[in-house]
Every structure is written in C-alpha cells, then in structure tokens.
Structure 1
C-alpha cells in the first residue's frame, strides 16, 4: 500500500491519470517507477544496515575501550593496593628494626651491668703473730708465714647468691699447701688442721703436691685422687657456683676432673699453709656473670 501510494503520487506529479489513452506508456512508466521505488528501498535498507553496522561497531569498540579502561582502573587499583601493602610492610619492618636495635641496646646495657665484678680482698687472720698480710698493688694481696705452724686463713667474702672465683699462687711452700672452702658459720681457730676432727666437718679442700698429693677432701671423703698435684708458681683457681652448689678447680687454666658438689649453705674461700717464709698471693677475687667451667670427660663429683 505504501509503494502504490508512492507510485500514484509520482503519476500525479507527472500529469498521468487513469483516464489517459496512453495506457501502455503509463504501464511502462509505472513499472519504471516501481523499480525506482524498489531501488530506493534497497538503497535505504543498505544505508540502514550500514548505519546499524557502524553503530554495532561503535558499540563494540566502546565496550572494548570500556573494558580496557576498566582493566586499567583495576590494574591501577591493584598497583595502589600493592604499594600500600609494601609501604605498610616497610613501615612494620622499620618499626621492628627500631625495636630490634633498642632490644640489642638493652641487651648490651644488661650485659654491661652483669660483667664480672672484682671484689676487694680481705681476710680473717686467726693468728696475726704467725701470719702477715700485705697489699701488693691495691688489688692483689699476699699472705706470708713468719714461722712454722699449720694455719688456715679464710677470706671475709661470704659466697652466696652467685658465682665466685679466686686465683691463688703459692711460693716457697715446701709442698705443704691447700685451697678450699669453709662453712661460713665456723670460726677458724689458730693452728687448726682441716683434715682432723672436730674441724674436718666444716672444711673441704684441694691439696698440693706434698700434702695429700692433689687429693680432694671433704667431711665424707678423706682424699679423692684425680686432680693435678699443683706446685709453687702454678695458678690455682677455685670457682664456686652457689646456684649449682659446686666447687670446681683449675690449674694454670685447665679444669680439673674432681670437684665438690652438694654445697647448700654459705661458705668462704680458705688457704692452708704451714712452713716459715711460705707465701701465697691472691691474684683475684671476682663475682662472675657466668661460669667458666664446663662438663669435661672423666668428671668425678665428691659430696660436700
């Protein structure tokens, strides 16, 4: 109906009507007009299809562009998130580093505060007429016998709540020398022999090469062999650990296998000397930050 209307409109425009005598020409003209309309319709259809294709292509390109933009936005967001996470991680690491440095500083301060401490050396002298005590250099002290008599001299320092060491060196002792500990509550008389009753139960000692031949003696053991028979000029060290209740001996820096265990009370270091002109130098007296002794092969414990 639309196409017929268009043809009639064209005929009227050309001055043609149904009453014309030139029917054949009109028929031909109508056919031509129909073809023209058909071509116009096809061209319009093609134009519309091209337009639709352009619109579809545009929409596809727009969607592709939108997808790219969206991916870029997502990537940028992920980058920002990753950057924030890295910044947070770096910030945490910096804080941990600061804390670690502070902790190390605190440890250093703590270590500095618990370094080995020198203790002033002083004695209980039970026999001043026989025993002289000299200051050597403001730190070391020397004991010297004026005449022959067996004596035990104790240091005044009470050994408790810590680890203590004493270094000793004998001279001109004629193989009569010993080192050890005494019960703090015991007052040592002049001329006492620590291996005889009733004094024996208060002492424990490690003897030199002549007197006991390197034995370790306690109230329960008359003499346990195994340690070096220390001589004049040897440096003898005693290390007492009140936490473990042990007394360990060293000679010239070498730990000895026989030691005393089971010490559960306050004690003091002692020195035993006998002959005239014998001297004993106390090289050091310290409270230690940590024990220097260790487990060694062949260790033998003697009960206090």
Structure 2
C-alpha cells in the first residue's frame, strides 16, 4: 500500500510523491516529511522532467546527517530500507550529499558547502544543453560541484535516514533559461 500526496502548486508544476506507508509523518498542508525512526527512506518527486530547464526546491527543516538531494533516471524505484548509493541503484542516480560532496556510482567528489537546518536546497537541471547538467544551489548560492552528461529524462528525489530528519518540497518549476554562472573552483562530476 502506498501513500500518495499531490500538491497543486501556487506556482510551477503540480507535483506528487508516491511512497509506501512507513516510518514518517507527512504534513497534510504541504510536502513536509519527517522521519519517525532511523531508517533509509527515499522520496521521489513526480513528474519526471525532460527537454527543458527545471529547478526543484527543497527546505531542510531538520538534519542529523545522511541526508541528500538528487535525481534519478526516470523509471527507477529505490525501495525504503535501501538508498541511492547502494547496489544496484548507484549507477542510475546522482545526488548532492549533506557533507558537501556529490555522488554518482558510489564515487564522491568534494567541494560544496555543508548543508544544515533551515537551508533551502535547489537543484537546477538543464536537459536542453549538451551535455545535460545539474547544478546545486544552497540558499540561492550556486555550488562548485556540478554533474554533467545526465540522462535525457530524470526525476528529483530527497533521502532521509535519521529520526526527526525533516524536509519540505517547496516547488518544481520550468525555467525560461538556465541561471547558472561560471564560478571559481567549479568541478565537474561526469555521469558515464
């Protein structure tokens, strides 16, 4: 049995999160999820996106560690009690981890700012560019590690693993143009 939450966004694309009932609470007025116990839980944000520039915005309400925000190849399902960096899933998703690293296929690249309580996390994917890219913003500040060569169609997600960790999905928007800039110290993590 699954929990289905749908939000008609005030702005942006209407989103939905479909996950099994589990050890979390969900605020009925928005997309705020809070872990009731320490267990791995991944929350995919639908719909999948393709052929444009998109930005998914989250807020970290509470973080104790082992929290991440990312995107997966469309169609991938990562069950609860597993995780994005676990075989056989690690090659079909990429994510920005709370300690400031980015991961694809189990390999970390370090250099982003550490995430903390109350941070606003945004991932911007450009699925029109060649190569296709994903950039992280923390509190509206672009971070240096970005991911390139991402799949043509992706689905955003967030992951929590500790009791009382809490995340709110704020919005999913189509952008007219990418907002990224060339920044000092930029590092590319390539999805092969």
- TM-score range normalised by the length of the shorter chain: 0.7 to 0.9
1:153 and 2:40 matched: no
Q: Report how far residue 189 of structure 1 moved.
A: 1.3
Distance 2:49 2:120 in 1: 21
Task: Provide the residue aligned with 2:128 in structure 1.
Answer: 243
Mark the runs of 5 or more structure 2 residues left unpaired by the alignment. 1-10
TM-score, normalised by the number of residues in structure 1: 0.56
Q: Quick one: structure 1 residues 205 and 298, their matched pair in 2 at CA, closer, same or farther if it must change by over 3 Å?
A: same
TM-score, normalised by the number of residues in structure 2: 0.87
8 Å CA contact 2:60, 2:118 repeated in 1: yes
> Which runs of structure 1 show a deviation greater than 3 angstroms over 4 or more consecutive aligned residues?
none
More helix by share: 1
Greater mean alpha carbon deviation, residues 142-151 or residues 250-259: 142-151
More strand by share: 2
2:101 counterpart (207, 215, 233): 215
Within 5 Å, which residues of 2 pair with 1:140-179? 140-179=30-69
1:226 and 2:114 matched: no
Q: Report how far residue 121 of structure 1 moved.
A: 2.4
Rg bigger for which structure? 1
Q: Report how far residue 171 of structure 1 moved.
A: 2.2
Mark the runs of 5 or more structure 1 residues left unpaired by the alignment. 1-116
Distance 1:214 1:299 in 2: 13
Larger relative contact order, structure 1 or 2 (CA cutoff 8 Å, min sep 6): 2
1:294 and 2:181 matched: yes
- What secondary structure, in the 3-state scheme, does the structure 2 residue paired with 1:256 have? strand
RMSD: 1.5
Q: Report how far residue 216 of structure 1 moved.
A: 0.4
Distance 1:172 1:274 in 2: 12
Within 5 Å, which residues of 2 pair with 1:73-222? 118-125=12-19, 127-136=20-29, 140-208=30-98, 213-219=99-105, 222=107
